[in-house]
Amino acid sequence: MQVMFRFVTKRFLLTRSRTRSHLVHPKTWVRRGLLGASVSGVGFYLASMSTIYADSPESAEHKSVLQAILQEHLWGPAEFYFRSCSHSSPSPSEGIARYDGAAFTSNSECHSASATFEPYFLAEIIEGHNGPGVAVFILNSLPLALANGIHHLFVRPQVLDPETVEVHSELDAVPERPSDSAINNALKRTFMDLDYSIVQEPLTYIMSSTDAKDSKCRGTRALAFSYPGTCALTALYDPFTRLLRVASVGDSRAVLGRRIKGPHANGKPLYEVHVLSKEHNAQNPAEVTRVQALYPGKQIVQDNRVLGMNVTRAFGNGPQKWPRKIQEYLYDQLIGDPPSVDIDTPWMTAEPEITMMKVEPGDFVILGSSGFWDALTNEEAVGLTGLWLTKNSLKEVLPPPAQPPSDGTFKQGAYPPREPGAPAIERDELPVTLSEDTTMAYKRWRVPKRFLNVDPNAAVHLARNAMGGADRDFTEALFSLMPPRVTQHSRRDVGVNVTFFS
């Protein structure tokens, strides 16, 4: 899906493309054997809702209807989701050969998106938690805010020339390019300003507005986006300097793959791995130290969480950023969460950590959600992408994403498996030097980690191999799970995109 925003100035054009998973599992209640299926923009829902009783006189009829729904109406095949929840853009921007993205939601909001504001190209992974509000807001607001923040570094303010009494246009370009530190500071300021609008501005309204103080409804609605949160990972590329800037809050990860020059023993290409971000969670010693300084002497890490949270940096998550008095006021006067008895100092932040790296022709960068990296190591992801490159062309134009069937019914054979006879690929066949596999997903699933190379979209290729790989039946099983079983113990949100540099 392409969305275009035009600035007040005529020099910048922001083009958006996004991949949003509409994989929301349907509700499964049944009534009287009349079971309709409907399709909406966010998923598939069975229409009539009630309960089947095993001792009902019509139980046999109900069971036969339920069986039909389970086979045709309820779930689409995994191949449908692979083809519908993905996007591909050949040469979306200068210096970019191709961008592929895919996102598959389980129990939260996960998005893979890209944007272009000349001359920059932006790729991002947005991974929400505790509700969808903040993730959707950041998905739609962050690219435009970043474009505006960087744009201001390239223009002069309007000034009056005393000799000619003319106003110089604000479009007059600054002769020198902004420094790296100026651009990095603009990125940080943009992240922090957006977070302020989510977390702090609603408080100003509530404290100053009589309407908000007198109405629990108005006050609660004002805080609708303040309680959920989202991680955000962005990769901003400047084709003139060939600098890639990765800005991150949360536990998503960016990894760059680079082909190693020179002959190799087997005559095949080999790739090296460069990790471009750090997760902000309990496994990050620097983050634990930062939070511990605010709570000296307190045990802040328990059950692999910091003060009860999976991440230490994120957009939103107001209770982790408000003083205790504010939390108590919101709890007493509105429908706020009960303040934690032992957390009284704001400790979470949306200030991103930024990493820069000079890109070489042929490099590619992978951005993935935490659920993606729970299944694949850095080396496996890079090796799988290198393997994908041996079979696919970056110039290939892929068909648009598949659309749900108009009647909500997936006909048998409508989405056959890709290359059903494709051989499984062992881990040691990947064109990369492997490290120890510390990922947990395949171990938790008790499924051998073996891979396939059957998808024309590089992001789908990686996502498939993060959700069962060569075991196609297990992949179908993962996509067949319904809430509340779709949790981080079975299938987590998987969002991934791959940007190939020319």
Return the CATH number of 2-23+78-501, one of 3.60.40.10, 3.20.20.450, 2.60.40.290, 3.40.1010.10: 3.60.40.10
Asked whether the beta carbons of 495 and 372 are under 8 A apart, the reply is yes
The half-sphere exposure of 334 on its side-chain side, counting CA atoms within 13 A, is 26
Q: What is the pLDDT of residue 488?
A: 56
Q: What is the DSSP letter of 19?
A: E
Q: What is the pLDDT of residue 42?
A: 28
Nearest-5° angle of CA 308, CA 314, CA 319?
55
**Three-state DSSP class for 178?**
coil
| Average pLDDT of adjacent 10-residue blocks, the chain of 502 residues | 29 55 34 26 28 42 51 65 92 95 86 89 95 91 94 66 51 66 96 96 85 77 91 97 97 97 78 98 97 94 94 96 90 84 88 98 97 97 97 92 76 82 96 96 96 98 98 91 69 94 96
Cα gap 411→32, rounded to integer Å: 23
User: What distance in Å separates the CA atoms of residue 400 and residue 435, rounded to the nearest whole number?
Assistant: 37
How many CB atoms sit inside 10 A of residue 123's CB? 26
CB-based contacts of 393, cutoff 8 Å, min separation 6: none
- What would the two tokens of residue 149 be? 């923040």
Question: For residues 306 and 287, is the Cβ–Cβ distance under 8 A?
Answer: yes
Q: Determine the Cα–Cα distance for residues 149 and 189; give it in Å rounded to an integer.
A: 8
Strand order in the sheet with 253-259: 86-93, 96-104, 494-501, 364-368, 253-259, 271-275
Distance, CA of 259 to CA of 403 (rounded, Å): 36
Q: What is the pLDDT of residue 467?
A: 96
Q: Note the pLDDT of residue 183.
A: 95
The distance from CA 163 to its chain's CA centroid, rounded to whole angstroms, is: 53
Q: Rounded to 10 degrees, what is the CA torsion of 407, 411, 415, 420? A: 170
- Six-digit token pair at 91? 């040469």
Q: Could you tell me if 418 and 396 are in contact, meaning their C-beta atoms sit under 8 angstroms apart?
A: no
pTM of the full structure:
0.85
- Each domain of the chain, given as residue ranges in start order, spans 2-23+78-501, 37-73
CA pair distance 82, 86, nearest whole angstrom = 7
State how far the alpha carbon of 287 is from the alpha carbons of 247, 312, 319, in Å. 16, 7, 18
Residue 364, by phi and psi: left (phi above 0), alpha (psi -120 to 50) or beta?
beta
Q: How many Å from the N-terminal Cα to the C-terminal Cα in the chain?
A: 23
Q: Per DSSP, which regions of 94-187 are E strands?
A: 96-104, 110-117, 120-129, 159-161, 166-168
